[in-house]
Structure 1
Amino acid sequence: MKREAQNYIDNKLKPPKSFYNWCFSQIPTYKWSNKEKTILASNRKNCSVIERNLRKNSSMTFFGKLRVFGIILVTAKRIEIQSYAFWNRVEEGKEIIKFELVNFEQFAEEEHVKVTRQNNKYWYGLTAIHGGLSGGPYSTIEFFPNSWEDKIKNMSELRYLEIPHIYFREIESMYKYRTEIEFLQKIKAHRLAKEVMYQEINYSRGSCRKSVDMRIINAKWLKENKPFFKNTNKSFIEFELARRIKQRNGKLVPGIEEYLDYRDINKIPTNIGIVRFQNWIIKNEVDFSYYLDYLNLMRDLNIAIDSENIIMPKNLVIAHDNAVKLLYQMKNEVEEQQYKVRFEKIKDLEKMIDNYAFIVPKKASDLLTEGKALSHCVGGSNYIKQHIEGKTTIIFVRDKQDLEKSFYTLEYKNGQIYQLRGKHNCDPTKDVQEAANKWAKLLKSKTKVLQHS
């Protein structure tokens, strides 16, 4: 029978007094003064002091800033992450500080437990204390420096692992998969051990997926595939690519992992040899997402994908562009009429921010022009269709001194920037990214306009 959440709080590890002293030291106190008089909000010494002029109309009653402080406590059998919210306020010149435990995580006895405080009671789960840009229970937390990393490495249940470095958010995966990690480290499967330990993300060629699938990796799988990984730096992606390519009666061509994710194999047309296809991908440095858009164009044009010159065109960019032109000719009139309605709903998204203009395409065909100018796939039928239907929103980012010249293209989807790319899919500069973040922040209240409109 599952224990009440309160039981975990009643039996939690006790933070040292130095933690509370540190928390209070992070909270400033207040001082008002003039030539005749000085008023101190508190007699705390080990904190900063905000000084203000004392006047007849000085505000002496107000709320301070909500602060969240955390501590990670470690024993041989437990790891706990405790988060405390501190509220300070001043009433008639006197400071009042209150605090309570608001979020709690415990790793012990093969369990990971999450407990939060809501409505004066503890429940299972975690609560976002601050909204912020990223939100979440730890978005603005400050952790007490108590050498918790060394304690986890040397005295916790994770002490048998070789841990190069650790961030508090990585404790969960390390604890959950410590048996698998230990096994991989013992057989010197360095790359896979690291992927499991840190739950790495693979950003290769525009993809953004976890490098490992822990639904697949278990004790049986590790034992069966030990020969493949032992004493190597082979990754999970390499293994799955090799396995799935073998299912297509082929073998893995070295270097293909830079271009293909194993989950892409079933998207490759079956009318071509898988080895020939890999060599074509590598030779032409094909962006697979761009290739998939090309295949969608062929389907939209009712062109059978059953011959080598269609599946592997000599020049993918030319083949893609020709397909776009043909499809555009077929769909132009209908799309432009549909887009007039969509444009009216999103035209107010145009903003000038810093040195940049965020421009809504005036016509659906503008996406085709943008894609050509910047040599990326925003001009593909899939992007145009989704933009018209409101499933995504394409915005042109321009230098405000040259509004007619294509610069960067932004895709806004599900209330956030989905991607921001320049010529040949290059990443944005720091100032462009910062301006885009400001633009996105302004749109938070308009999310409903962007979705399903």
Structure 2
Amino acid sequence: MSLQLITDHDKISAAVKNRFKITKGFKEFTSKYFPIYIWENKNKKIVSSTRNPKDCVTIRKRLAKNSNLSPYVPYERATYVRTSRRRIELQEYKVYLTFIDGIEHINLELVNFMKLENNTLIRCHCFGNEIIAGFTSFGPSMYSSAFSSMVYPNYSMENSELKYISFDDIYSNFTNFAKFIERIYKYRYEIEFCQKVGAIKFADAIASGNPNADMRIITKKWLRTHKYILKKNPETNYFSIQNEIKSLADQLRVKASKLSNYLSKHDSSIEIYRKHVENLIKLNYPFEKKYLFPSNFKEVRQEIETIIQDLEFESENSKFLEISKEFSPTCNKTLSGYTFLVPTSTACVIREGIELNNCLKSYITKIVSKKSLIIFVRSIHEPGKSLYALEISPDLHEIRQFHGVNNSTPSEKARKAVDRYIKSLEKFIAA
């Protein structure tokens, strides 16, 4: 159901002027967030408020001639909610204290105002005596937004247009109360319908703005058509999954019901099964029953994945070997007490990463695509023992990283050796 946003200034001003009056209970609710001050000496005692000290913090100070009887107290924000049969209002106030001779006066200043009535919406804020369309943000933080303040709890929707909605079944973890109420009002029919048939999860998804509740799709006709499914209180992603299943079933030229039942039987998600189909396509396997619907799906899927991984590993290793042959003649050197080696396989890089306890394995893709080059740096006395790993640019000019075990900083001697190593590569290239 669409909402008409009222922008006419006269109508907005009239709505603010004729708003519900706040109650004594709301004033008392806002006041409990302020402290009570007591100034006292041997002869005199000044108490700032007649409020019950049990409901708030009490601050005691010595009364003297120069006592500040008008202390600074940060303002608070509070939202007042009031409803009638056709109207819902939210009024957000700035609440602050002023003092006269130590006696407090609680002031409430209307800042933001929202009204929902007969499928119309008014949003406005007050600035002095001026009423301006749209909300304004105010508060102690730059991230404070309109209607993110404390809400007066003594309100009821039971006599309003939202009287058939069970708020207890809605996970109301809202940061903006106005947006929350506005959304529920806008989609009250859909939420009511879902709650009435028992689709609590869907009702909550609509109210909270969950992406799975696409309101371009969830129309009155759609709700009536899918009522038999909604009665089972499905997960909110149920229908999107069913659409994916139908799309994949059409691709495989099988019935959607057959695929859906197969996934349920083997406790598999549509994502896992789609990946299985993609792997079959990679291997050029035919879409036959023994591959698409095996009785032992988990085992077959894992076998297929192992074949894919082996092929990818062989492909990577083959490319890695080519790179090693290309760079080894230039980069394999012994210099200043250290041996510099280009790794010969992906297995070497993985093993070196384990020995040095770092993330060398993650660089395999960069090496294969010639975006980076890894050099093993070892002592000439222990050439078979992992010591340092050096990352350089493929053009052999730039040192990108040089680390030891646990990404530790190499010795000064090792760093100087690496500098000489890079210079020797540059001379070789130049020659």
Q: TM-score under structure 1 normalisation?
A: 0.53
The equivalent position to 1:178 in structure 2, one of 170, 180, 188, is 188
Structure 2 match to 1:159? 163
Structure 2 match to 1:357? none
Tell me whether 1:104 sits opposite 2:113 in the alignment: yes
Q: Which runs of 5+ in 2 are unaligned?
A: 1-5, 251-255, 302-308, 319-349, 351-358, 375-389, 394-399, 410-431
Cα offsets for 1:258-312 (capped at 9, x unmatched): 968xxx99xx799477x97999xx959x9xxxxxxx9xx99xx9x9xxxxxxxxx
Tell me whether 1:325 sits opposite 2:363 in the alignment: yes
Secondary structure in 1 matching 2:79? strand
In 1, Cα distance between the equivalents of 2:27 and 2:230?
47
Secondary structure in 2 matching 1:331? coil
Q: TM-score under structure 2 normalisation?
A: 0.55
Q: CA deviation at 1:119?
A: 5.2
Amino acid at match of 2:42: K
Cα offsets for 1:391-414 (capped at 9, x unmatched): xxxxxxxxxxxx99xxxxxxxxxx
Listed as ranges, the matches of 1:375-394 within 5 Å are none
In 1, Cα distance between the equivalents of 2:401 and 2:217?
43
Structure 2 match to 1:445? none
Listed as ranges, the matches of 1:125-144 within 5 Å are 125-132=134-141, 135-139=144-148, 141-144=149-152
Cα offsets for 1:350-375 (capped at 9, x unmatched): xxxxxxxxxxxxx7899xx99xxxxx
Listed as ranges, the matches of 1:334-353 within 5 Å are none
Tell me whether 1:14 sits opposite 2:21 in the alignment: yes
Listed as ranges, the matches of 1:9-408 within 5 Å are 9-40=16-47, 42-46=48-52, 48=56, 49-90=58-99, 93-118=102-127, 120-132=129-141, 135-139=144-148, 141-146=149-154, 148=155, 151-152=156-157, 154-165=158-169, 167=172, 169=177, 170-200=180-210, 210-227=211-228, 229-248=229-248, 249=250, 251-252=259-260, 253-254=263-264, 271=281, 324-329=362-367, 330-332=370-372
Amino acid at match of 2:220: A
Amino acid at match of 1:174: I
In 2, Cα distance between the equivalents of 1:129 and 1:258?
46
Change (3 A) 1:59 1:259: farther
Amino acid at match of 1:237: N
Q: Give me the CA root mean square deviation.
A: 4.6
Structure 1 match to 2:420? none
In 2, Cα distance between the equivalents of 1:364 and 1:237?
45
Amino acid at match of 1:196: I
Amino acid at match of 1:72: V
Change (3 A) 1:45 1:225: closer
In 2, Cα distance between the equivalents of 1:327 and 1:63?
62
Change (3 A) 1:220 1:20: same
Q: CA deviation at 1:337?
A: 8.4
Structure showing greater Rg: 2
Q: Which runs of 5+ in 1 are unaligned?
A: 201-209, 287-293, 304-317, 339-362, 371-402, 405-453
In 1, Cα distance between the equivalents of 2:217 and 2:131?
35
Secondary structure in 2 matching 1:155? coil
Determine if contact 1:237/1:257 at 8 Å carries over to the other structure.
no
Structure 2 match to 1:374? none
Determine if contact 1:34/1:54 at 8 Å carries over to the other structure.
yes
Q: CA deviation at 1:100?
A: 0.8
Secondary structure in 2 matching 1:102? strand
Determine if contact 1:190/1:232 at 8 Å carries over to the other structure.
no
Change (3 A) 1:159 1:37: closer
Q: CA deviation at 1:112?
A: 3.6
Determine if contact 2:187/2:207 at 8 Å carries over to the other structure.
yes
Amino acid at match of 2:216: R
Amino acid at match of 2:372: N
